[in-house]
Structure 1
Amino acid sequence: MLQTYAMVVNRNKNRTKLSTSSVEKNINVVNTVKNPSNENINKMEQSKKPAKRIIGTKIMEHVKLQPDKIIMKKKVFCLSNVKKCHRDDVVEFLQSSGINVITCFPVIKRTDENDPKAINNDEHSTMFRVCVEKKDEGKMKDPEVMLQHIIVREWKFNEKKLDFKNG
């Protein structure tokens, strides 16, 4: 009974050896898990960023490939110090000034949140949340376009609270 054996080359001989011992390596690994460095934290934050999107601008007729919906960049503003009026009045004024209004909602004051009358979106209000196309941002910020004493500022969105328990 003849057995043939193949020669196996040890690949570890070709690799360069590190000067630290395996115990020191294990300690370093434990330390980085317990106390992550700023570099590791920055890498984690970067990995959570959404991928950059590119939105096409080419226009062609008679092509089968068509967008499902039109994507437009938006800007949200707060209009305040307005005499009590209906949201349709605000939309009408802004459109007459050449501003394309996407949405307009009355802002309910925190003191009126429990009032059942304030829940209706068609109610009159003294403050409005107005969403317009991004290209009309300059018109919204132009004091010559807006009526005297009406305050226009960018809408401040609430920051999302991170839940560390669920990841």
Structure 2
Amino acid sequence: MDNLLRLLLRLLIVPLGGVAGMIAALAIILVGYWQLGDLISGVTEIEAVALADALTTAAFAMMAIVVLMGGIALIGVLFAEAFAVRSWVFHVANGAVSAMIAAQIFPPYPDAPVPFNGMLYILGAGLAGGLVYWAVAGWSAGFWKPLGPAGPAAPLPPAQPAPPTAP
């Protein structure tokens, strides 16, 4: 019964961790590559509305890369769940590799006159997405492996008296 409840809990926690990781990755791209702090400072009210509209539209476009990254990372997540890999290093590396592969498959700006130089931010987004996924769901990966110690240790057998020694 415990295994069934743990499996049901994993079916809830893993997608929640995936969504949280994708939101973290998108936030890194928005704040880092687009330098959102510089865009927001010193704008009028009308410019702020236009900026919010443009950022919403651009976030939907950038979400394509993030969803592709999550789909590629799903391979590593399934591996971690199957073999109960709970290492944060594994999940962070999974996020970084999946982000790099997604950026190669679906480049953010394929027809831009200047080359895309934001691979550092894509890598950072993958690292952040992997870390957030580990914090939500990866630290307890594998529904069949217990989280704590295996249980109380078996009691030791009673001590046998030493055999008498001959004089």
Taking structure 2 as the reference length, the TM-score comes to: 0.22
Higher relative contact order (CA 8 A, sep 6+): 2
Query: Whose strand fraction is larger, Structure 1's or Structure 2's?
Result: 1
Query: Whose helix fraction is larger, Structure 1's or Structure 2's?
Result: 2
Q: Which has the larger radius of gyration?
A: 1
